[in-house]
Every structure is written in C-alpha cells, then in structure tokens.
Structure 1
C-alpha cells in the first residue's frame, strides 16, 4: 500500500494502516490543545509581549482642538525653537497624524500667525488706560510688544510677513489707535502710522533676537566683527563712515528703539498724505499684492496686443 508523502520514510502503517495512525495523531493534537486551554498554557496561548495593545485598553486621547494645537506649538517653540516645529513634529507630540492638523490650521504660516497672536497676550496694554503723557504710554506699549517678540527669535522673523487678525493683535492695535487719537493724530495719518510703528518694532526684534536658543556667543562675535570693520574702514574709500566711526554703533537698543518711535511720530504729524486719502474710502481696498498682480497684463493679453487687427 502506498503511503502519502507527508508520512516520510520509516512511517509504516500501524494496526489498521496509516489512516489509523493519522487519526491517532489528530486525537493527540486535539487533546493537547484542549489541555492548553484548560491549564492556561502560557507558552503557546499568551499574547506576544510586543503585540499592539488593544485600543479598548488605552486611555482615551484628548480631542484635537485648535487651542490645544496652538498651546502645544508654544511649548515646543519655547523648548526647541520655532525652526524645529514642523507639522510632523507637532503631530508626534499630539499623538496623531500630520493630516489631522490641517483640519484646524491650513499651513505653517497660519499656525505661526496663531501662535504669534497667542503670545501677544503677554504684551502690557495697561498704559493705554493709565494716566500720564500719551506719547510715553504709546512708547511703553510698543516697547513691550518688541520685548515679547525678542523673547521668541524665530517668531519675530515670522512676524515680518505674518497676516495677523487674532483677538490679541486687535487689542494691541485698538490700544495704540486710542493713544494716537488721544495725542491728536488725524485719523488718516493714524491709519497709516500704526503700520509703520509695528513694522519698525517687529523689524528691530527680528534683527537683534538670536536665531536659535544658545547662539548668543555667535551674535557677540558678529557684533565685534562689525565694530572692527567700522573702526578700520579707510577714510579714502568711505570718508563718511570713517568720520562717524563709533557713533554709528552708539547708544543702547532701548534708546535707539524709543528714538525711532519718536521719529515716526514726528514725521507722521508733518508729512503730507497722498491725495488717495483725501476722502474716506467707501469700501475696503483689495489686497495690494492681488491688485498689483491684476494690474499687470498677462502674457496672453500682451501677445494679443501685438497681433495686427488687420490680420
């Protein structure tokens, strides 16, 4: 009688043949499995120690919210710097996928703007309602704004191009406009001056803030190198720089900042406005960038204008 190949050499039929041998083996195997269940056999039946944990056994994760994403971004920025904050890094911290974050923020630029607005809540706006000279109180608020940006170097640079519209930014602008109104600055002048004041403060913070945590020594080296160049410049090739010398780098950052605000305020009082502001606009203007693009002729229109109408 021919035996099936899985019996192998030497596996002769027992008693009633190899069919009975196969049945006996099956019975033994079944009995082994039954005993394993009954006795709690750990070797074969216990889950592998590295097996994924059932979601039912995990504590529920906090629901994703825009506020939670912003708060976590602020924590990461303070610990590692804004340059290290990416959607992937943020998603890992929140135990989710990067795609989930885009439900709440469209891109990194919007996230940076939201984080900046959150931090603007640290700006001291109390001078707006205090007593004293309106000019001094205005400078105090602008100095506080600059100091907040100075604490977060990457954010200060991002603020140069960010489009802000959050509640803390609106509170800042409202406080500054109230003080300009108190100081007798005409509304049209104040509308443009507020932009210049915040640009100057933001640029100052971005220029002097350290790019990453702990890079102060490099910044000091850069400053010494600049001072050396100004000191050693040739009067023959750069006579005005040589004449002013150390005065170009004189003064404390605080004094320079306050003087810059004074220059802008004084200039706004006496510099004529363009005629475009002679009357109040009825509607909000378009985005200047969009309007500029729209005013430029397209390649198709230019090509069409080059075609002779008689052709």
Structure 2
C-alpha cells in the first residue's frame, strides 16, 4: 500500500488572514527585525504573507512607501507625554523617545532621512510637538518651520549613533580622532590646540539636550525671512 497521504482539500486548509494594510505592515516589521531593512522588498514580503506581490501594490505603491508604513508603526511606541516638567523638558523627552525608536533600527532611521511617514502615529508626534511649541509661546509661523528642524536633528542623531552601533570600530574611530586632535600643531591649528579635549567632551545625552536648546532658542527668536 502507498504511504503517500491523500491530498488535502482547499476547503479543509486553514483560511489565511485577510490581507490588510495593518497585516502587511506588521509582517514587514517582523522581516526588518529579523533580517534588516535591506531585505525588505515587496516580493520578499509577498512570500512571507503567502500571496502575490501584485496584491501588495494595492496597499503600497513602492518599497519607499512600505518603509514609511513600517516606520509609522514603530512611532506608535513613542512616549508622547514626554515625562514631567515644563514644555521644554517634555519636548526633549518626546524627541528622546523618538530618537531611541530610530536608534534601535538604524536602517529605518536612514530611511527616515529621505522619506517621512504619513500615518496616524507620525501625525500624533507632529501634533504633540506643535502643541508643546505653542505652550512655550513660539509663534505659529516659526513653529511650522521649526518642528521640521527638530525632527531632522533628532533623526540625524539617531542615524549617527545607530550606525556607529552597527560596527565594532566606533570606539577605535573616536580614539583615533582624539589622538589626532591632541597631536595638532598649535601653529597650524591654534584654535584646535586651544580647545583640545573640550572638542570631544560631554556625554551624548548632554550634547543632545544642548543641541535641542540651541534649536529651540533659535526657533523662538528668529523670524522667518520675508518674501
């Protein structure tokens, strides 16, 4: 007698979950966490979802739009309250949370530099930042441009530190730079020699907070150029 099992009727197979934008994004996020953003393509995702790539184009026009959807899903984990304190302290807390989300996914952080999500979580982040700027008395026109600078600064910080975390040479590079700065000629580079180790002083956290203070001071006091 043959040991080959009888074919299973399609009616007896468990039904696949309905294909929705949310289902696709969550599957894409699993691929990113396990294999990295570079492996996330519509074809790869179609295989993961046991469907055809053409089915995914109904929800996402291209891979860039898919990346934005995945990023927006991650932004749902941001702490939008920003902790306790005045508006500056809470705004800093929100952007720290945003940066941490991107820091944990360096490839997505790099993607965020060129393509922004448009989903509900990004809009919630944007609304929170604008509300905090308004609470701080920042004029609306400056807040409208300033929020872009704040997000760009936070995103680039995540890219810089996240990318360093992907390699084992980050500490070696820092030590090499420190050695180069200490060895400069005071005649050729007097300002570098004068500042010395102070060029690399401070913790990453302190530098991040100081950078935000610089931006916030400038945003609140700098009028937009007239046409």
In the superposition, the TM-score normalised over structure 2's length comes to: 0.89
Q: Which residue of 2 aligns with 1:194?
A: 147
Offset of residue 207 of structure 1: 0.9
Change (3 A) 1:202 1:215: closer
Paired with 1:167 and 1:74, the residues of 2 have a C-alpha distance of 17
Q: Secondary structure at the match of 1:126?
A: coil
Paired with 2:131 and 2:151, the residues of 1 have a C-alpha distance of 15
Q: Which residue of 2 aligns with 1:232?
A: 183
Q: Which residue of 2 aligns with 1:166?
A: 119
Contact 2:142 2:223 in 1 (8 A): no
**Which protein is bigger by CA-based radius of gyration?**
1
Offset of residue 261 of structure 1: 0.7
Paired with 1:99 and 1:68, the residues of 2 have a C-alpha distance of 16
Paired with 2:188 and 2:52, the residues of 1 have a C-alpha distance of 59
Query: Runs of 4 or more off by more than 4 Å in structure 1?
Result: 51-54
**Of the candidates 151, 163, 172, which is equivalent to residue 221 of structure 1?**
172
**Of the candidates 195, 206, 214, which is equivalent to residue 255 of structure 1?**
206
Greater RCO, 1 or 2 (C-alpha within 8 Å, sep 6+): 2
| Bigger mean CA deviation after superposition, 265-274 or 151-160 | 265-274
**Of the candidates 81, 100, 105, which is equivalent to residue 60 of structure 2?**
105
Q: Which residue of 2 aligns with 1:95?
A: 50
Aligned length: 227
Change (3 A) 1:271 1:92: same
Paired with 2:213 and 2:18, the residues of 1 have a C-alpha distance of 48
Paired with 1:200 and 1:171, the residues of 2 have a C-alpha distance of 19
Residue by residue, what CA displacement relative to the aligned partner does 1:11-38 show, whole Å, maximum 9, x if unpaired?
xxxxxxxxxxxxxxxxxxxxxxxxxxxx
2:221 is equivalent to residue 270 of structure 1: yes
In the superposition, the TM-score normalised over structure 1's length comes to: 0.66
Contact 2:92 2:212 in 1 (8 A): yes
Q: Which residue of 1 aligns with 2:160?
A: 207
Unmatched 5+ stretches in structure 1: 1-41, 277-311
| Bigger mean CA deviation after superposition, 82-91 or 221-230 | 221-230
Q: Secondary structure at the match of 1:155?
A: helix
Q: Which residue of 1 aligns with 2:72?
A: 117
Q: Which residue of 2 aligns with 1:301?
A: none
**Of the candidates 106, 120, 144, which is equivalent to residue 153 of structure 1?**
106
Paired with 2:155 and 2:167, the residues of 1 have a C-alpha distance of 20
Contact 1:113 1:159 in 2 (8 A): yes
Residue by residue, what CA displacement relative to the aligned partner does 1:274-301 show, whole Å, maximum 9, x if unpaired?
114xxxxxxxxxxxxxxxxxxxxxxxxx
Unmatched 5+ stretches in structure 2: none
Please tell me the root mean square deviation across aligned C-alpha atoms, in Å.
2.3
Paired with 2:180 and 2:50, the residues of 1 have a C-alpha distance of 51
Paired with 1:111 and 1:78, the residues of 2 have a C-alpha distance of 15
Offset of residue 229 of structure 1: 2.7
Paired with 1:87 and 1:223, the residues of 2 have a C-alpha distance of 38
